[in-house]
Amino acid sequence: MNLFFQQIINGLTLGSIYGLVALGLTLVYGILHIPNFAHGALYMVGAFMSYFFMTDLGVHYWVAMAGSAAVVAVLAILCERLVFHPLRNSPPIHDKIAAIGILLFLEAVVQMFWGSDFRRLSSPFTGIMNFDGLIIPEQRLLIIVGAFVLVIALQLFLRKTMTGATIIAMAQSREGAFLVGIDANRVAMMTFAISGVLAAVAASLYAPINLVYPAMGHLVIMKAFVIIILGGMGSIPGAIAGGMIIGFAEAFGGFYISTAYKDIIAFGLLVLILSVRPQGLFAKGAH
């Protein structure tokens, strides 16, 4: 029973991280129709920024996380301005290749400064909480709560603020948004910034129980793609639900089936789903 509960915690933890990364990816896709292959690199830079702020500048975990989020948000905006914006009318293959270029660049830069060694981000939350025999490490609890708070905050932002409303409007209909006079550039930059913040926070939350290294974004971004295909490209609830599905599938699959192959579960699932339903699981209609 305890082991089972442990897997639920693991599933929630993984699902929270995947969900946050997938949220950023799906927002960008929904608005600009770019599958941002560089999103995993933003996640990776987020982890390294937190690491840098904590070990080299000696600031507190929370401050490091905030600083990392700010840096990555700026980086994401730069990507939008310098790369994706000029390519908005190019053939669809171009923005994908450009995204790969960004990814390769960011990885090489990080590797130049920090090498390709595995590093560990220390967190002040190293304790273990014991609820009547049920054991939850503090950091995992923090991840789950943190992700929950972020999602709520994002929802509030999207539903209650003017900027948020324009993002939603543009995600629903690009042409429509232009007609009613929405500043598409501002919305695009804002969306990229949000996706960067989400990636950086997710990375900073997850890094203390995982490792920090230049290629750490590869698996995460691929899984995030699986998640948003599962949940419907551009759908916010879909990204959260998809994140949880993959998180739980991995936690339980890794425990009950095979640890070695747990990473393959997400991709196997994707191959299966797309083989049966080329337009994704929850995608509406065929268009």
Partner 1 sequence: MLKVEHLTKMFGGLAAVNDVSVDFEAGKINAIIGPNGAGKSTFFNLISGLHQPTSGRILLDGVDVTHMPCDQVARLGVGRTFQTTNLFEQATVLDNLIVGHRLRTRSGLWDVLINSKRLQREEKAARDKAMEALDFVGLTHVAGQFIADITQEERKRVAFALALATDPKIVLLDEPAAGVNPEETEGFAALMRKMVDNGLTVCLIEHKMDMIMSLADKIMVLDHGEKIAEGTPEEVRNNPVVIEAYLGGDEDAAA
Partner 2 sequence: MLFKLGSLLMKPGAKMALLAFAIVFPFLADNEYQVYVMASAFVWAIAVYGLNIITGYCGQLNLAHGGFFAIGAYTLGLLTADAGWSFWPAFVAALVMTAVLGFFVGIVSLRLKEHYFAIFTLCVGFIIYLLIDKWEELTHGPIGVRDIAAPSGFGLVDFTETTPFYYLVLAFLVFSIWFMGRLSRSLLGRTFIAIRNGDELAQSLGINLMRNKVLAFVLSTTYAGLAGALYAGMVRFIGPEEANINHTFDMITYLLVGGIGTLTGPLLGTVGIVWITQSLQFLEEYRMIIFGPLLVILVIFFPRGITGQFLTWMHHKAQSLAPGKKRRESKVQTASAREAENNA
Binding residues for partner 2, rule: CB under 8 A, are 29, 33, 35, 37, 82-83, 86-87, 90-98, 100-109, 111-112, 218-219, 222, 225-226, 229, 233, 260-261, 263-264, 267-268, 270-271, 274-275, 278, 280
Q: Which one of partner 2, partner 1, none is in contact with 168 (Cβ closer than 5 to 8 A by kind)?
A: none
What is the rounded distance in angstroms from the CA atom of residue 167 to the CA atom of residue 192? Answer: 11
Q: Which one of partner 2, partner 1, none is in contact with 94 (Cβ closer than 5 to 8 A by kind)?
A: partner 2
Q: Tell me whether residue 93 or residue 112 sits nearer to partner 1 (CB atom).
A: 93
Q: Does residue number 287 form part of the binding site for partner 1 (CB under 8 A)?
A: yes
Phi, psi of 180 (to 5 degrees): -85, 10
Q: What is the dihedral of CA 88, 90, 94, 96, to 10 degrees?
A: 40
What is the rounded distance in angstroms from the CA atom of residue 188 to the CA atom of residue 236? Answer: 16
Which residue is listed with tokens 């042409």? 175
Q: Which one of partner 1, partner 2, none is in contact with 287 (Cβ closer than 5 to 8 A by kind)?
A: partner 1
What the block records as the tokens of 111 is 């590797």
- Nearest distance from C-beta of residue 59 to partner 2, angstroms: 28
Binding mask 247-286 for partner 1 (x = CB under 8 A): -------------------------------------xx-
In degrees, to the nearest 5, what angle opens at C-alpha 27 toward C-alphas 226 and 139? 70
Q: Tell me whether residue 90 or residue 258 sits nearer to partner 1 (CB atom).
A: 90
Task: Enumerate the β-bridge partners of residue 212.
Answer: 119
Task: Enumerate the β-bridge partners of residue 131.
Answer: 134
- Nearest distance from C-beta of residue 192 to partner 1, angstroms: 28
Q: What is the dihedral of CA 97, 98, 102, 107, to 10 degrees?
A: 20
Q: Which one of partner 2, partner 1, none is in contact with 273 (Cβ closer than 5 to 8 A by kind)?
A: none
In degrees, to the nearest 5, what angle opens at C-alpha 168 toward C-alphas 165 and 169? 85
Q: Which one of partner 1, partner 2, none is in contact with 103 (Cβ closer than 5 to 8 A by kind)?
A: partner 2
Q: Which one of partner 1, partner 2, none is in contact with 284 (Cβ closer than 5 to 8 A by kind)?
A: partner 1
